[in-house]
Amino acid sequence: MFSEQAAPTAQGLLAPPSGEPPTFPRVPVSGYSDCSQPFQLGERSFSRQYAHIYAVRLAGMRPGLERRARSRWGSDVALRKLSELQAGEKCCVVGTLFKAMQLQPSILQEISEEHNLVPQPPLPKYIQPSDELILEDELQRIKLEGAIDVQRLVTGTIVAVYGSEQEDGKFLVEDHCFADLPPPLPWNGPSSDRFVLLASGLGLGSVSGEALLSTQLLVDVVTGQLGAEGEQSCAAHIARVILAGNLLSQNTQSRDTINKAKYLTKKTQAASVEAVKMLDEILLQLCTSVPVDVMPGEFDPTNYTLPQQPLHRCMLPLASAYATLRLVTNPYQANLDGVRFLGTSGQNISDIFKYSSMDDYLEILEWTLLAGHISPTAPDTLGCYPFYKSDPFILTECPHVYFCGNAPHFQSKLLQGKEGQRVLLVTVPDFSATQTACLVNLRDLTCQPITFSGFGADSED
């Protein structure tokens, strides 16, 4: 966007300042509605167990999976519960997957005295060839083997398997299917170019200040204070900015002060206090010019379990005076100009990355969409609130833009579904590492990266 319109007007930078500088009105905000009410927790009660969330997940996704099974394996396929299985009969079973992993960190093993184990250091991936898949329904469980990729799948996915029970009590799988893409939403997108900037992983409060220049350049580009008239008119087409998590860096999470003596730590302040002040100033500059949605991430001062609640506005006194600042939940869903956005700060994708053989964040993102659930590994390996009434992470409608934050690289893909779904999948890269943000064009669902960098002391030129 920026490059083709900026070049012709670059000469304007060398001209003397004119008496009447041209102004570029930003595209007006039309049609915004927040759809993340299922992720907002009112009163929280932790006196429940997690059996409820698995039960409602299975009960909620079972009808859709049964329909998919009938359309795939014939409308007369036998749908059985595990308690009704007969040896040798070809049938279809719908249930929850459980992957028994040897390396999965288990708190019970760690504190068990008979094992005398040293706590396991965190590994990048916990998969092993000896992992097994088990299918569970409401009452029983059975081991799976056959045409099913054990390494690729993760615990908590609802799946329909077609096969037969063997003599040794295991289920031989001939074919399996997931919930597939949810039904499409009608398209009411804008007819002219309108952009949304997606950025994540600003990483404020880190020890090195190198990313601060890039962050300031990002703010200047969006508020139109950078570049010639061409760039400024392009920036006026940015309708919204979404910050997808990890606004604070991981360095702010250090808890060394807990282990030190009280007299050494009396006057020290948590690193996150300074970082939040910096965040407030950056958000103030952005909010005076463009609507901003701020999602919390893994290292931000909010609750740990999904769905993460919005940051409190008392932490951002300067920026929350503006109505353009919206503090939103971690899986975030909204209608922007008729285009449905759904995204997370990346904890769900990086958790699946640890427990699956899939290496590509875009592939995992696409797989969660096809499995019909934003985060199947919650609550097993990712913290989750104990819902009992319904599982809000089940995908009931297909979004138009599905993003995840804090990915290692920028990737995007337009997915077309059989029922006319068009989804733009975007993995938003970590800004503090890559200095890259994404611009999504709402008119034709395309996405382009925009990178900011400054010249360091040790670079040539």
Partner 1 sequence: MEQPRRITDSCPRRRRRRGPGRPPGRLKDKKDKDKVQVKVRDCPRSPSQPPPDAALLEMLRRFDLCWEYGPCTGITRLQRWERAQELGLSPPDPIRDALLEHRDNPEVTYRWVWGGM
State the Cα–Cα distance between residues 214 and 174, nearest whole angstrom: 52
Residue number with CB closer to partner 1 (61 or 286): 61
Residue number with CB closer to partner 1 (305 or 451): 305
Residues 6+ apart with CB under 8 A from 428: 198, 199, 200, 244, 343, 346, 403, 404, 405, 406, 407, 410, 437, 438
59 binds partner 1 (CB under 8 A): yes
SS3 per residue for 429-451:
EEHHHHCEEEEEECCCCEEEEEE
CA dist 409 → 188, 434, 451 (Å): 30, 8, 12
Of 3, 49, 112, 396, the residue at the interface with partner 1 (CB under 8 A) is: 49
Radius of gyration of the chain (CA): 25
Q: What is the b/e burial string over 219-235, where b = at least 16 CB atoms within 10 angstroms of the residue's CB?
A: bebbbbebbbbbbbbbb
Cα angle 241, 228, 337; round to 5 = 30
60 binds partner 1 (CB under 8 A): yes
390 binds partner 1 (CB under 8 A): yes
Interface with partner 1 by CB under 8 A: which range of 52-60, 111-119, 280-288, 392-400? 52-60
Residue number with CB closer to partner 1 (55 or 172): 55
The three-state secondary structure class of 256 is helix
84 binds partner 1 (CB under 8 A): no
Of 56, 79, 185, 213, the residue at the interface with partner 1 (CB under 8 A) is: 56
Q: Are 424 and 440 contacting, i.e. CB atoms less than 8 angstroms apart?
A: yes
Residue number with CB closer to partner 1 (46 or 263): 46
Shortest separation between residue 229's beta carbon and partner 1, angstroms:
56
Interface with partner 1 by CB under 8 A: which range of 41-49, 339-347, 366-374, 415-423? 41-49
With CB under 8 A as the rule, give the number of residues binding partner 1. 14
Instruction: Note every long-range contact of 363-366, with CB atoms under 8 Å and residues 24 or more positions apart, other chains counting.
Output: 365/402, 365/404, 365/425, 365/427, 366/413, 366/415, 366/425
37 binds partner 1 (CB under 8 A): no
Residue with token string 């097993």: 380
Interface with partner 1 by CB under 8 A: which range of 8-16, 48-56, 86-94, 395-403? 48-56
Of 115, 266, 389, 418, the residue at the interface with partner 1 (CB under 8 A) is: 389
**Total length of the chain:** 461
48 binds partner 1 (CB under 8 A): yes
Interface with partner 1 by CB under 8 A: which range of 236-244, 257-265, 291-299, 386-394? 386-394
Q: Which of residues 134-163 bind partner 1 (CB under 8 A)?
A: 138-139
Q: Tell me which residues touch partner 1 (CB under 8 A).
A: 47-49, 51-52, 55-56, 59-60, 138-139, 388-390
